[in-house]
Amino acid sequence: MPKKFYITTPIYYTNNPPHVGSAYTTIAVDVLARYYRQKGKKVFFLTGTDEHGEKNAQAAKKANKSPQEFVDEIAKSFKETWRALDISNDDFIRTTEPRHIKGAQKFLSALKKSGKIYQGKYEGLYCIGCEKFITKKELADGKCPDHQKAPKKVSETNYFFKLSDFLDRVKKLISHDKIKIEPLERKNEVLALLKQGLEDFSISRQKVKWGIPLPFDKKQISYVWVEALVNYITAIGYGSNQKKFNQLWPADLHLIGKDILKFHALYWPALLLAVGLKPPRKIFVHGFLTADGQKMSKTLGNVIDPIYLADKYGVDALRYFLLREIPFGQDGDFSIKRLEERYNADLANGLGNLVSRVLTLSEKAGNFPVIASERKRAKQSRRKNELIKGVKSTQKKYKKALEKIKFHEALEVIWRLISACDEFIEKNKPWTLISEQRTANSEQKLKEILLSLLLSLKEIAVLLRPFMPATSEKILSQIKLNKKTEVLFPRL
């Protein structure tokens, strides 16, 4: 039985259509999903939309639409964008779907039953942009630093979760990597938060209408974050399909941005423990795409439409650029200038040029068939050949980088192989062998050179597949034109 691999993106707010920041997280998860599928794992890749709460309701009001009508439109634009960006998600959960509402209510009832819920009065500040209660300490000039807006004062009676009862257990799980938080500095950040101490948090809102009513007090609705986190289990059958749920839970990887670390690393495991469920295995935290140093967000008005970029530069170029330019985990500025530079240097001059060089050479050489009887000889020469030796070490380094979720390193390794191919061509000058009157010897040498290049190109295409699926298929189909040569390709 292949091993399951359950991987998720956060679910996106439906106050606005997707932007290149949301595409960043989704593309990253897509690359991992495709990589693990290629490795033979039974991948389940979930994404979706977070549709309840004040933030979404306010956006609907502004657009003069009912909340449902509004979120239907935005959810549709998310689905369409992911299709356009070649995202291979297995499911898409919307928090307004009956399966989610049913599962969330089951979860809330289980939480109540656990005895860890109590009624209390909340008085403080709330940032609608973050959908979270915020302390004065977290503000900069009286404003939320992520949304540049002053929070509103809230005073209401609602239900609280006894987070404090679970913090010791959560701390142990994180310290011992039972919940693995990566990169390391994020794990340390969470441990520091634990050291500071955390207050119990409210799981319901009294004055908000757009949400899921608490099953034990219909006058209150579930706090949007509790409900949102629960999507990771309702989508796989919690409350509706126990068998599927048992097969897939716990999640193998939640990939998230750094702004939502506390919710995923502390609140979520504590909530799960309270109802007797296992916590997720791993949380990987990435940085922000910024524009002039500021987080790209619709609220700040500095976003770029990913469809516009994909139409102008190509889907694969966008996917490549986002993961090549910024070391995954760190913040990085998104700039069209850099995208164009990388497009020209890496894709057109690097990859594109190599593919057309090798195909042209092979065509000029007459696309000669490499017949089966030559297999042995070709194999022997392959073993000696520097370029082919390089392929093996490329594979190893690539695998190591991807399994550590270092996309930029994995891509760097592929591009080193591309340069090695270029150097190999320069060194061996196959064109001199093509133009000469060919002897048996030169013919053999030519075959070996071209075969090594075609083999390397095939490997490059295979390694690129999770990042640039369409480009990879195109290269592979171009190589396949030479069917007889293809039989010699080893299973890389």
Residues that bind ligand MSP (CB under 6 A): 10-13, 21-22, 24-25, 50, 228-229, 231, 256-257, 259-260, 288-289, 295-297
Q: Which is nearer to ligand MSP, 297 or 452 (CB)?
A: 297
Q: Which is nearer to ligand MSP, 16 or 395 (CB)?
A: 16
Minimum gap (Å) between residue 278 Cβ and ligand MSP: 17
| Least distance to ligand MSP, CB of residue 259, Å | 5
Q: In the complex, which residue's CB is closest to ligand MSP?
A: 257
User: Least distance in Å: CB of 5 to ligand MSP?
Assistant: 19
**Residue 243 to residue 251: CA distance in whole angstroms:** 15
Q: Is 130 annotated as a binding residue?
A: yes
Asked whether the beta carbons of 186 and 294 are under 8 A apart, the reply is no
Q: Which is nearer to ligand MSP, 307 or 361 (CB)?
A: 307
Q: Check residue 348 and report its DSSP letter.
A: I
Whole-number Å distance between alpha carbons of 276 and 198: 21
Give the residue with the Cβ less far from ligand MSP, 295 or 324: 295
Tokens 């009286």 belong to residue: 142
Toward ligand MSP, which CB reaches closer, 67 or 430? 67
Tokens 């979720």, residue?
405
Q: Which is nearer to ligand MSP, 256 or 272 (CB)?
A: 256
CA dihedral 62, 66, 68, 70 (to 10 degrees): -40
Please state the closest distance from residue 131 (CB atom) to ligand MSP, in A: 7
**Chain-centroid distance, C-alpha 251:** 14
Burial class (CB in 10 A: 0-12, 13-18, 19+), 448: buried
- Please give the structure tokens belonging to residue 204: 């319901």
- Pick between residue 289 and residue 453 the one whose CB is nearest to ligand MSP: 289
Give least dist CB 10 to ligand MSP, A.
Answer: 3
144 is in an annotated binding site: yes
Nearer to ligand MSP, 28 or 463 (CB): 28
Q: Distances in Å between the alpha carbon of 371 and those of 60, 376, 485, 486?
A: 66, 10, 8, 10
Question: Can you tell me the distance from the alpha carbon of 111 to that of 117, in angstroms, rounded to the nearest whole number?
Answer: 7
Give the dihedral sign, CA 210/215/217/222.
negative
* Structure tokens, 20: 């290149």
Can you spell out the DSSP letters for 414-444?
HHHHHHHHHHHHHHH-HHHHHHSPPPHHHHH
Provide CB contacts within 8 A for 284, sequence distance 6+: 182, 183, 253, 254, 255, 256, 329, 405
Cis status of the peptide bond prior to 369, with omega within 30 of 0: no
User: 107 with 233: CB under 8 angstroms?
Assistant: yes
- 118 closest CA partner among 165, 48, 76: 165
Minimum CB distance to ligand MSP smaller for 22 or for 158: 22
The Cβ of residue 14 has, within 10 Å, a number of other Cβ atoms equal to 29
Q: How far is the CB of 369 from ligand MSP (least distance, A)?
A: 50
Q: How far, in whole angstroms, is CA 293 from its chain's centroid?
A: 22
CA dist list (Å): 397 to 164, 411, 417, 437, 476: 43, 10, 11, 41, 22
Of 24, 5, 22, the C-alpha closest to 14 is 22
CB of 219 to ligand MSP, least distance (A): 25
Closest CB to ligand MSP among residues 87, 296 = 296
* Residues placed in the known binding site: 127, 130, 144, 147
Binding positions for Zn(2+) are: 127, 130, 144, 147
